[in-house]
């Protein structure tokens, strides 16, 4: 048993951890809880870390806490040295959710139930409103505005759009406060264009059904606006989706006047949650979601566990080209933190509590919940590489930024002390965990093409499997191992050989392989089915 565990650990390092080493690691926090996201500054000289905090006057958080939770803003240089930090808030709950830099000013979008108190100078219209702050680049408040009605607004997203601030929130309010559009159900998607000079609302619309919508995502792509929502109903602006027992996903495309250009829905027979919508090219889009559904509707795979990451590739008209899932036997959660890297790979950040070797997850589990990073080949959805980061308590991603040259900046919320592959101590209840990791072995200009140097099919396999090698490869041997670490097959590869066949009759379960050459080694696994 010990020999097997050592083998699996070594294989994981070769196949799913190589060049994912942590090159820099630190944490920001006070004695209570602090959860941060990050945005690069406009000059390329550092970062703004922003989020929610309940700490005050301890460790990195020396500024005042005004209430239960405040917005905490940190300015750092490129080495993450804190240049200054400030808090914004009132006596209630002020939760930092989104930020954007426009015309050398920083805009912070938050939801707030605080009355006039602290450094908040406006009462809410209802139980909770959107609170938008315009700051100079040194964190001084230029102006602050509230947006909402007599009920509650939540989960704000903001983007820069045509020299305006585009705001998206879920609203339970009807016409009241500064909402001038009618709510169609329990909660709708409220979208507004805001003048960055004085905070005035230039235009607004309310999108929804007779039921309840929740905030999914906001994207500006090629001067087009995309709103993603999760919905329980249909009618109004929501098409009939033959919905399942839970949430379905709806994508809206809007023009500059906030009119709906087109609407698309995606669903399975249970709850599905939209996280992010990304363009790769004019004919390639990706919808990143989380699913509890079995095969039904647009979903073509049964879940591995209670929740899986569900990825849909869409064409130019946003029709599904293919879909696939990522996860293990427990739960795996998608997040909005994703991007198309310089080499064209799709990079995803999720949360995983599944053990390796279950489902199609191979990265190790360090504790309760880990940060799970996947590098995906956008042509077919194959996992090029994966890695997990975490300690013995829950850890989750809050941001993922490409740094160039194959490096990634991961920001997370951590409850772990030094354990797993976390090497910095915990300062409070929850800290912001900042990780630089080197994924250049997978994120370089040739990585996707290099990954196509070999392909096994069919996989899963019933009896025999074929290995296709691209012409010009330099592989010279392949070894196969059973799950108990026994080597079950060795084959030398002749110079110029491009097609090899292997018979695994009598074997079942996972078969691991290492494909070696003079300049590189690739490892992976094949699923052998029983008769």
Mean pLDDT by 10 residues, the chain (531 residues): 39 48 95 96 92 96 95 97 97 92 96 97 96 98 98 94 97 96 93 98 95 91 94 82 75 97 93 94 95 94 95 97 96 95 92 94 93 94 92 97 91 97 97 95 54 69 83 88 79 91 79 81 69 42
Q: By the 8 A CB rule, do 47 and 83 touch?
A: no
Which tokens go with 359? Answer: 């489902």
Nearest by Cα to 441 from 486, 385, 403? 385
Distances in Å between the alpha carbon of 59 and those of 31, 294, 390, 406? Answer: 7, 47, 22, 32
Give the model's pLDDT for residue 342. 82
pLDDT at 244: 58
- What integer pLDDT is reported at residue 210 of this predicted model? 87
Q: Rounded to an integer, what distance in angstroms lies between the CA atom of residue 69 and that of residue 87?
A: 10
DSSP label of 14: I
pLDDT at 245: 63
**pLDDT value for 4:** 38
- At residue 483, the pLDDT reads 64
The whole-number pLDDT of residue 451 equals 47
pLDDT attached to residue 414: 98
Query: What residues form DSSP beta bridges with 277?
Result: 287
The residue assigned the tokens 């009807």 is 174
Closest CA to 188 of 233, 239, 145, 125: 233
Residues 6+ apart with CB under 8 A from 281: none
Whether 191 and 168 have beta carbons less than 8 Å apart is answered as: yes
* Cβ-proximal residues to 472 (8 Å cutoff; 6+ apart), any chain: none
């Amino acid at each position: 048993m010990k020999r097997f565990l050592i083998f699996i650990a070594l294989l994981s390092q070769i196949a799913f951890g190589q060049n994912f080493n942590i090159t820099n690691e630190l944490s920001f926090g006070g004695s209570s809880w602090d959860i941060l996201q990050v945005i690069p500054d406009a000059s390329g000289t550092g970062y703004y870390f922003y989020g929610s905090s309940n700490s005050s006057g301890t460790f990195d958080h020396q500024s005042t806490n005004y209430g239960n939770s405040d917005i905490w803003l940190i300015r750092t240089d490129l080495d993450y040295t804190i240049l200054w930090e400030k808090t914004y808030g009132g006596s209630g709950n002020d939760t930092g959710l989104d930020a954007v830099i426009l015309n050398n000013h920083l805009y912070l979008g938050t939801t707030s139930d605080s009355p006039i108190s602290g450094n908040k100078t406006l009462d809410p219209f209802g139980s909770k409103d959107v609170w938008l702050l315009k700051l100079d680049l040194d964190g001084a408040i230029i102006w602050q505005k509230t947006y909402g009605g007599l009920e509650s607004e939540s989960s704000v997203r903001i983007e820069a759009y045509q020299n305006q601030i585009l705001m998206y929130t879920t609203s339970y309010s009807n016409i009241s406060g500064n909402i001038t559009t009618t709510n169609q159900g329990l909660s709708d998607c409220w979208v507004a264009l805001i003048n960055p000079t004085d905070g005035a609302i230039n235009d607004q619309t309310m999108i929804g059904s007779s039921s309840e919508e929740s905030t999914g995502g906001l994207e500006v792509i090629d001067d087009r606006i995309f709103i993603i929502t999760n919905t329980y109903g249909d009618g109004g602006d929501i098409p009939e989706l033959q919905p399942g027992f839970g949430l379905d996903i709806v994508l809206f495309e809007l023009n500059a006047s906030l009119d709906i250009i087109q609407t698309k829905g995606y669903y399975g027979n249970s709850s599905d949650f939209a996280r992010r919508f990304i363009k790769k090219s004019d004919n390639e889009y990706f919808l990143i979601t989380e699913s509890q559904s079995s095969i039904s509707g647009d979903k073509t795979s049964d879940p591995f566990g209670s929740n899986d990451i569900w990825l849909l590739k869409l064409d130019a008209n946003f029709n599904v080209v293919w879909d696939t899932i990522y996860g293990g036997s427990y739960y795996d959660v998608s997040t909005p933190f994703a991007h198309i890297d310089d080499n064209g790979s799709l990079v995803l950040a999720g949360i995983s509590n599944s053990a390796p070797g279950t489902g199609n997850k191979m990265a190790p589990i360090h504790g309760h919940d880990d940060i799970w990073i996947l590098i995906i080949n956008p042509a077919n959805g194959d996992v090029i590489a994966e890695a997990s980061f975490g300690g013995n308590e829950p850890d989750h991603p809050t941001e993922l930024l490409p740094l160039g040259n194959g490096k990634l900046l991961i920001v997370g919320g951590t409850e772990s002390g030094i354990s797993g592959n976390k090497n910095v101590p915990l300062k409070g209840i929850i800290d912001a965990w900042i990780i630089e990791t080197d994924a250049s072995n997978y994120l370089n200009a040739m990585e996707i093409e290099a990954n196509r140097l070999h392909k096994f099919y069919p996989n899963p396999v019933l009896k025999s499997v074929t290995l296709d090698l691209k012409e010009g490869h330099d592989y010279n041997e392949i070894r196969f191992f059973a799950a108990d670490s026994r080597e079950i097959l060795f084959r030398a590869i002749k110079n110029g050989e491009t097609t090899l066949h292997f018979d695994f009759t009598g074997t079942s379960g996972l078969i691991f392989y290492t494909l070696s050459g003079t300049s590189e080694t690739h490892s992976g696994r094949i699923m052998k089915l029983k008769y």
